[in-house]
C-alpha cells in the first residue's frame, strides 16, 4: 500500500522547494522504509529538522522534548495506541499542522481524524507529488483531504441525525469521551489529562450540547457509531 509514496521519490524534484519557507517536522509511522521516504520528501520541500517516531509513546516523548513543530505527519495505526489519540494529544499541546498519512480510506477514519484535530488526510498510495501538494496546503494554513476520500468525508458528515454534532467535537472533547468509554469518573479523567474534575465536567457539558444528550452511555454510543472512538 505504500509503494506510490516512496517509489521514485528521488526522481521527482520538489518544484517549489526553493521558494518554500523552512520548517521543522515530526514523522510518526511504524515502518522504517516509510519514515525514510517521508524524511527525504520533506527535506526536498524545505524541512530543516525532521525527527522520527515509530510508536505513539515515542512520539509523545519527542513532542514533549521539542515542543510543537511546524508539521507532524502520522499514521493512524500504531503498535502501541491509536493515531487518533495521538492527534488529540498533539493538538491539545499546541501543534497546529497535523497531517494523517494512512492506508484507511473509509469515511469514518477520515472524519474521525479531522475531528481529532488533523488538518490534512493523505493516503499511503498517494504519489509523491500529491503528498507534497497536500502538505504544502496544510503548511500554508489550509485544510486538505486526498481527492479520493474527499467525497467519502462529505458522505460521512451527512450520515444522519444520530451523528449530529460529532464533527463539531474538539480534540480534547474526543479525548474526554474516550476515557468516558473506558468507564472512568470525572476525577479519574481529570487525573489522566491533568485537568480538574470541574474542567472535565465543563467539557462534558459542551459535548452534551453538541450531541444533544447528556447521557454518558448515549454520547459514547454516538461517538462509536461515527468511528470517532473505538
| CATH number of residue 147's parent domain | 3.40.50.2300
List the end-to-end C-alpha distance of the chain, in Å, as a whole number.
23
| Domain extent at residue 221 | 161-225
Grid coordinates of 69: 513543530
Cβ distance 132 to 8 under 8 Å?
no
- pTM exceeds 0.75, yes or no: no
Residue 127 phi, psi dihedral angles, 5° rounding: -70, 155
Answer whether residue 28 is part of any domain.
yes
Cβ atoms within 10 A of the Cβ of 147, count?
11
Cβ distance 219 to 208 under 8 Å?
yes
Residue listed under C-alpha cell 457509531: 225
Boundary (domain end) residue, out of 114, 132, 157: 157
What is the tally of structural domains in the chain? 2
Boundary (domain end) residue, out of 125, 157, 189: 157
**pLDDT tens string for the chain (230 positions)?**
444 554 433 333 434 434 568 999 999 999 999 999 999 999 999 999 999 999 999 999 999 999 999 999 999 988 887 788 899 899 889 999 999 999 988 776 787 788 788 889 999 999 999 999 999 999 998 888 888 887 665 554 444 444 557 878 888 888 898 888 877 889 999 999 999 999 999 999 889 888 887 777 777 777 777 777 76
Cβ distance 166 to 114 under 8 Å?
no
Q: How many Å separate Cα 38 from the centre of its chain? A: 16
Cβ atoms within 10 A of the Cβ of 27, count?
26
Amino acid at each position: 500500500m505504500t509503494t506510490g509514496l516512496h517509489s521514485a521519490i528521488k526522481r521527482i524534484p520538489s518544484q517549489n522547494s526553493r521558494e518554500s519557507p523552512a520548517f521543522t517536522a515530526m514523522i510518526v509511522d511504524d515502518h522504517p522504509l516509510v519514515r525514510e521516504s517521508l524524511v527525504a520528501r520533506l527535506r526536498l520541500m524545505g524541512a530543516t529538522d525532521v525527527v522520527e517516531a515509530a510508536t505513539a509513546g515515542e512520539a509523545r516523548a519527542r513532542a514533549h522534548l521539542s515542543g510543537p513543530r511546524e508539521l507532524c505527519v502520522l499514521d493512524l495505526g500504531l503498535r502501541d495506541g491509536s493515531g487518533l489519540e495521538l492527534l488529540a494529544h498533539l493538538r491539545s499541546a499546541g501543534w497546529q499542522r497535523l497531517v494523517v498519512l494512512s492506508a484507511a480510506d473509509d469515511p469514518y477514519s477520515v472524519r474521525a481524524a479531522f475531528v481529532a484535530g488533523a488538518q490534512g488526510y493523505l493516503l499511503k498510495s498517494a504519489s509523491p507529488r500529491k503528498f507534497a501538494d497536500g502538505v504544502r496546503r496544510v503548511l500554508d494554513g489550509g485544510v486538505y483531504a486526498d481527492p479520493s476520500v474527499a467525497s467519502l468525508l462529505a458522505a460521512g458528515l451527512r450520515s444522519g441525525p444520530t451523528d449530529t454534532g460529532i464533527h463539531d467535537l474538539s480534540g480534547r472533547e474526543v479525548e474526554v469521551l474516550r476515557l468516558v468509554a473506558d468507564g472512568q469518573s470525572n476525577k479519574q479523567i481529570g487525573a489522566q489529562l491533568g485537568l480538574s474534575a470541574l474542567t472535565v465536567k465543563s467539557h462534558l457539558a459542551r459535548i452534551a450540547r453538541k450531541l444533544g444528550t447528556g447521557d454518558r452511555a448515549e454520547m459514547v454510543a454516538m461517538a462509536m457509531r461515527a468511528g470517532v472512538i473505538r
